[in-house]
Amino acid sequence: MNGFSFKIATTPPFSFHKCLIYMQRSPLEISYKIQDNKITRLLSFSHDELPYLIEISSENDQHIIVTVLNHSTINLLQEQEIRQYIVEWFDLDRDLQSFARLVKQDAFLRETIEPLLGLRLIGVPDLFEALCWAIAGQQVNLPFAYRLKAQLVKQFGEKLIWNDDTYYLFPTAASLVDVTVEQLQLLQFTRAKAQTILRVAAQINEGSLSRQQLLDLPDYSLAEQRLVQIKGIGPWTANYVRMRCLRDENAYLPTDVGLQKVLAHWLQLPQKPTVMEIEHLFANWRNHSAYITFYLWSTLYH
């Protein structure tokens, strides 16, 4: 089977290489594999019986080349769904020209993040996956969060073996409906995190919570209010979802320990900046807060 290929045009600034560097920040990542400057990932859409094993590469940063490895042909709807997922995953329809100008004009941003221009804010288009990842990452270090995610995916996600490699789908909300708190605790989730994940799964499965519902609200602050109504989800988790899933350009996390650490380093502070100090700093960067946060985080990996 030769697979089916198509291209997605990109707009500058875009660097596939810089995206790869960020996406390889942890050897514990289970959602995709990266080898020979290509990303391989398993995708599935609700109306299809068979998942799609896609391989993504780039052509001089002007296109992303997508090859569906396990299908010799796909129809137009299937191609559109895969295309839309990748556009949202790599934030390809975002015009970053004004962001690039801000970075070049602002002395602090020019010093800290200008070398990263071309990196896109790698998203998590699926709401349930984004929420589970944010919940797993609450108040733990990044390696442990990755281990939690890997255990959740291996235990409850579907898999495909292709050329002796195993690829996983992130579990659906429906797949966790009958799962107990104790089962998640066996995967090293705390009881509180396990309860929160199952609350989210129940609401998504019954249709009372969805990404589209959040996007249809008049503004992102209302989406945050909706999310924090769920016990176990606070402002940090809600804003993470605003940034990585809902693609809110004004979302950022002033209480995030990683952001505080990075800012303390670049500003040469004797201690981490306070939330108020971070809010004052970010007031200069309205409409670009999400990208600046993401880039500052990414300085740890580049």
**Tell me, what's the pLDDT at 2?**
66
Question: Which CATH superfamily does the domain covering 4-93 fall into?
Answer: DNA-3-methyladenine glycosylase AlkA, N-terminal domain (3.30.310.20)
Lowest mean pLDDT among 12-16, 49-53, 107-111, 142-146: 49-53
CA distances (Å), origin 255, targets 69, 76, 119, 235, 263: 42, 44, 24, 9, 12
CA angle at 298 for the pair 82 and 276, rounded to the nearest 5° = 115
**Tens digits of per-residue pLDDT, 18-74?**
999 999 999 999 999 999 999 999 999 976 778 999 999 998 999 999 999 999 999
The answer on pLDDT for 208 being more than 90 is yes
The answer on pLDDT for 127 being more than 90 is yes
Which residues make up the CATH 1.10.340.30 domain(s) of the chain?
127-244
- Binned at pLDDT 50, 70 and 90, residue 80 comes out as very high
Please answer whether residues 113 and 300 qualify as being in contact, where contact means their C-beta atoms are separated by less than 8 angstroms. Answer: no
**Tens digits of per-residue pLDDT, 245-265?**
999 999 999 999 999 999 999
What is the spatial distance between Cα 16 and Cα 36, in angstroms, rounded to a whole number? 13
The answer on pLDDT for 281 being more than 90 is yes
What is the spatial distance between Cα 225 and Cα 119, in angstroms, rounded to a whole number? 30
**Tell me, what's the pLDDT at 301?**
83
Please answer whether residues 93 and 87 qualify as being in contact, where contact means their C-beta atoms are separated by less than 8 angstroms. Answer: yes
What does the mean pLDDT of the chain come to?
96
Helix (H) or strand (E) holding 203: helix 191-206
- Average the pLDDT over 122-151 and give the result: 97
Please answer whether residues 201 and 127 qualify as being in contact, where contact means their C-beta atoms are separated by less than 8 angstroms. Answer: no
Fold of 127-244: Endonuclease III; domain 1 (1.10.340)
Q: Beta partners for 42?
A: 53
**Tell me, what's the pLDDT at 300?**
87
**Tens digits of per-residue pLDDT, 147-156?**
999 999 999 9
CA distances (Å), origin 133, targets 10, 146, 187: 27, 8, 14
Q: What is the pTM of this model?
A: 0.96
Positions marked catalytic? 256
Helix (H) or strand (E) holding 287: none
Nearest to 16 by CA among 31, 34, 42: 34
The answer on pLDDT for 1 being more than 60 is no
Which residues make up the CATH 3.30.310.20 domain(s) of the chain?
4-93
